[in-house]
Structure 1
Amino acid sequence: MNIKLTIRFTLICLTFGSIVYGQAKTANSSTALMGKRFLTFNAVIRVNQIEVSRDRNVGEDERALHTPARLVAMRKAVAEGFPGGKMTWAFSWLALQDTSANYREIRKLVVGYHKKYGDEITFIPGAYFANAYNPTEQVDKDIHDALKIITKMVGNGYRPKSIVAGFLSAKNQQYLAEKEGIHVCQGNIWSQFSIDNQDGDGAVSYPFYPSKEHFCKPAQGKADFIDCVNLDGWSVDYLAGRRAGFAEGFNSRMGVGPIETLGKYGHDVGLKEMMHTTAINFDKGFELNGFGWVTNCWELSLPYDFAYLKDWLSAIKQRWPDTRLITQGEFGLTWRKHFKSNSFNYRFVERGSGIGGSDANKEIRWFMNKHFRLGLLSNLETDGAAKVIDFTNYTLKAHEPVAMTRKWSLMGDINQKQTRLQDRPVPIDSLSEKARKLIETHYPGLTK
């Protein structure tokens, strides 16, 4: 092979996946992270549907939906679906405080699961949306006081390795790491926009260290670095996730979550979509990134048979028998041990499942590193080149909201949700010269 052909072949491999660009030095290492598939499963136990603060609720009272029998059924489904697996239990403020017989027994049972299985027990502030309803100082106080309650509840000086938060501001994640000594937080819900009670699109879908400027922005260096591994809350179908809310009649949160799959399509089709999203990460994603991660979260109050949960876990265990189901905190710390900074270079490729917003005639490719995220969308039925549906430049300054609001997204030059005039998909060679140069530093030949 002559020199010109060798260079051309290398560029093609870097662009389309034959070489794990940016991770070649670590892909074959014997670290605890690389070469493995990880699954994390979180369960939320609350009293009210949305406990926005200690003394204010938005939604329905769910006491009747939280019973010891239901808790036992959930844990049994996990144990039978994935023998030896661990999970994470996140209690709301009221669930830690409620003195009724059911909640006293639920807390006792979960402590028992920690001792029997190694499950993690932690706190969820504000029922996913703490910063939309509380100042950062109050969120810090809620975290501090709740952790003290959990330590007392579990005993033996127990401290969780992580917290579950839905969304959590950079200031609160910095407090968590520096004051509470907890370095893992489920602190962003990737691609969420115009759905539920808070927006937070703009982040990286796999773990990263957040910037002090914005929880969706990866830290660029020591000056803005927060030593808290920021995790996504639910693995989503990337094609569904490019939409805003329920645009075109589809649910943008569809992926492994039960509401959008099992609740919408039933067991067979729902499970098919859950496995499709799992495969995005455990097949091609694993090949490209050197490791795979899928995460899911169920509220205990959801009206679904936990046999469905068992079936999904069993299917994963059968198809990818090397998968490790560990606590969220353990996974985050495993990632933290491997990555001392935001040196990651994630890539994902998906062809649609044909279910819901996962268009069967589309292919989406994502490129994510500390400097930017780039989304390319192709129509498989035409010869048209892939178009840019998202370019978010993380090297630019970012700011979180000063006041309490639902609007916490980090919107780039082009955002996948297409809610602004500037978000119209464009050919990659029509991006600014500055943007193309930045992309070329990571993926030579991609903008040609």
Structure 2
Amino acid sequence: MKKMTFALFAIGFMSVYLILFFSSRSKEKKKFQALVSIPVTGNRFLTLNTVVRVNQIEVTRDRNEGEDEASIHTLEHAKAFREAIAEGWPEARITWAFSWQALFSDLENYDGIRKYARKCHLHYGDDVTFIPGGYFANAYNTREQVNKDLHEALKRISEFMGKDFHPNSVVAGFLAAENLQYLAEKEDIHVCQANIWSQYAIDNQDGDGSISYPYYPSKEHFCKPAQSSADFIDCVNLDGWTCDFLAARREGFNEGFNSRMGVGPIETIRNHGPEDGLKQMIATTAVHFDKGFSLNGFAWVTNCWEISLIEPIGHLEKLTEWLKEIRTRWPDAQCITQGEFGLRWRNEFKTNDRLDYWFVQQGTGIGGSDPDKEISWYMNKGFRLAILKNLTDNTKMVIDFTRYDLPAAEPRELGRNWSLMGLINQKQTRPQDMPIPLKSLPEGDQQYIFSRYPELNR
């Protein structure tokens, strides 16, 4: 009788536990669904990612290019980073991306960081996901291998996050169209940081040619916005770092400047010192949250601050100051995970037909951001166009014109060059890339541009 009573009690207790557990999970899911139903239009967003890795660039599961970083990936560094964010923006939700080796490492520090990331998910609402190939998966792996890595890594994440946990996005650096299609159709992931806007001649892969705000990629090329349902991939493609548009027009480190300068800590705080670095981060943010917001109806800035940078760069107080300044100047801004941002955009924009991004920036005078120049970018489903204005003599020249309505193809062999270059490319690496007046473009291209922006035909 006692055994039966105990058994009935145990069954009852477990039933109550399961009801409460699934009720809690259901509430979490409904809460998230409510969040992603909020439109991006009318809002300003910051997305902040971090990367946890064992080696500097883990190009394959067992091959590394770069330094062993295990000793500088400590639980203390991870906590200091997350607490610096919480101090600057208590409600912020960020994305943690683990490399293959960081997911499977038996080292105590990585076990501790994985557990801490789970704690941050429960406490702050952070997302936890995978980064394949150290940002450059397709430069070193076949598409088939990348899909295997994605599947097994996502499974591993569920093991330590909880079997019902499912990341809302993937951080990838660059990712081929076929792999983006796999994420959408096989893994039910519809947001991926899959392009590093304007990156060329830096690190281990090139991929200039995309637009810098969200879009649905084409099956032909990850840099190309889908043109119709036939080439549409239902995975929102996001940039990885918001850059200064004037600095970004350069090739690599041309003229002694870093073309990746914007909000990232390497190109700002490390290269220009904490004070000027912070000024550049704020100025780059303002390009989007001020003028960009008025032009586009919403604004988005994104940054990736890797855990490996905590020791060599330090100055986490500047991360806190940057976040506090954003909240002070733009109190309506939201800091959410990139998955949530991408899903909000996906919920509002069902295709690329309404894409019409416009950015205007004058240089800051820091690094490669020329104070005597102003750049205007026009980005839409059909093309991207950049016009550089010399503020000294008011001359205007086209420095980039890339049409997306033309056929495109990704490389089929492993290698670094995955760029999509059109008639004129901002990096000026080809003879045809020399800047020219807008009215010197071929007549057909002029008409294509003016049909979209008649105000430019003056």
**Is the 2:47–2:336 contact (alpha carbons within 8 Å) kept by the matching residues of 1?**
yes
Question: In 2, Cα distance between the equivalents of 1:350 and 1:101?
Answer: 46
Q: Does 1:227 align with 2:234?
A: yes
Question: In 2, Cα distance between the equivalents of 1:207 and 1:271?
Answer: 26
Match of residue 404 from structure 1 = 414
Q: Does 1:356 align with 2:367?
A: yes
- Amino acid in the other structure paired with 1:322: D
Match of residue 394 from structure 2 = 383
Question: In 2, Cα distance between the equivalents of 1:308 and 1:396?
Answer: 44
Q: Does 1:237 align with 2:244?
A: yes
Over residues 114-167 of structure 1, what are the superposed CA-to-partner deviations in whole Å (9 max), with x where a residue is unaligned? 000100000000010000000000000000000000011100410001000000
**Is the 2:58–2:133 contact (alpha carbons within 8 Å) kept by the matching residues of 1?**
yes
Q: Compare 33-42 and 149-158 and name the one that shifted more.
A: 149-158
1:418 to 428, 432, 437: 428
What does 1:75-154 correspond to in 2, within 5 Å?
75-154=82-161
TM-score by length of 1: 0.92
**Is the 2:38–2:344 contact (alpha carbons within 8 Å) kept by the matching residues of 1?**
no
Match of residue 393 from structure 1 = 403
Question: In 2, Cα distance between the equivalents of 1:375 and 1:166?
Answer: 23
Unaligned ranges ≥5, structure 2: 1-36
2:335 to 325, 343, 349: 325
Structure whose alpha-carbon radius of gyration is higher = 2
- Amino acid in the other structure paired with 1:245: G
- The structural deviation recorded for 1:228 is 0.5
**Is the 2:274–2:315 contact (alpha carbons within 8 Å) kept by the matching residues of 1?**
no
- The structural deviation recorded for 1:441 is 1.6
Q: Residue 237 of structure 2 aligns to a residue in which SS?
A: strand
CA RMSD of aligned residues (A): 0.9
- The structural deviation recorded for 1:34 is 0.6
Match of residue 440 from structure 2 = 430
- Amino acid in the other structure paired with 1:232: D
Q: Compare 308-317 and 390-399 and name the one that shifted more.
A: 308-317
- The structural deviation recorded for 1:195 is 0.6
Q: Residue 77 of structure 1 aligns to a residue in which SS?
A: helix
Match of residue 165 from structure 2 = 158
Q: Residue 417 of structure 1 aligns to a residue in which SS?
A: coil
Over residues 154-206 of structure 1, what are the superposed CA-to-partner deviations in whole Å (9 max), with x where a residue is unaligned? 00410001000000000000000011110000000000000110000000000
Q: Compare 283-292 and 153-162 and name the one that shifted more.
A: 153-162
Question: In 2, Cα distance between the equivalents of 1:58 and 1:298?
Answer: 20
More helix, by proportion: 2
Over residues 264-301 of structure 1, what are the superposed CA-to-partner deviations in whole Å (9 max), with x where a residue is unaligned? 11111000000110011100000000000000001101
Match of residue 197 from structure 2 = 190
Over residues 201-253 of structure 1, what are the superposed CA-to-partner deviations in whole Å (9 max), with x where a residue is unaligned? 00000000000000000000000000000000000000000000000110000
- The structural deviation recorded for 1:447 is 3.2
Question: In 2, Cα distance between the equivalents of 1:187 and 1:156?
Answer: 26
Question: In 1, Cα distance between the equivalents of 2:163 and 2:42?
Answer: 35
**Is the 2:382–2:403 contact (alpha carbons within 8 Å) kept by the matching residues of 1?**
yes
- Amino acid in the other structure paired with 2:369: S
Q: Does 1:281 align with 2:291?
A: no
1:45 to 52, 58, 72: 52
Question: In 1, Cα distance between the equivalents of 2:266 and 2:457?
Answer: 38
Over residues 314-346 of structure 1, what are the superposed CA-to-partner deviations in whole Å (9 max), with x where a residue is unaligned? 111111111100001000000001110002100
What does 1:30-41 correspond to in 2, within 5 Å?
32-41=39-48
- The structural deviation recorded for 1:308 is 1.8
**Is the 2:73–2:109 contact (alpha carbons within 8 Å) kept by the matching residues of 1?**
yes
Q: Does 1:59 align with 2:70?
A: no
Distance 1:204 1:383, change over 3 A: closer
Match of residue 3 from structure 2 = none
Match of residue 261 from structure 2 = 254
- The structural deviation recorded for 1:55 is 0.9
1:174 to 175, 181, 188: 181
Q: Does 1:369 align with 2:383?
A: no
Q: Residue 301 of structure 1 aligns to a residue in which SS?
A: helix
Question: In 2, Cα distance between the equivalents of 1:152 and 1:140?
Answer: 19
Question: In 2, Cα distance between the equivalents of 1:447 and 1:192?
Answer: 31
- Amino acid in the other structure paired with 1:383: N
Over residues 61-109 of structure 1, what are the superposed CA-to-partner deviations in whole Å (9 max), with x where a residue is unaligned? 0000000100100010010011111000000000001111111111111
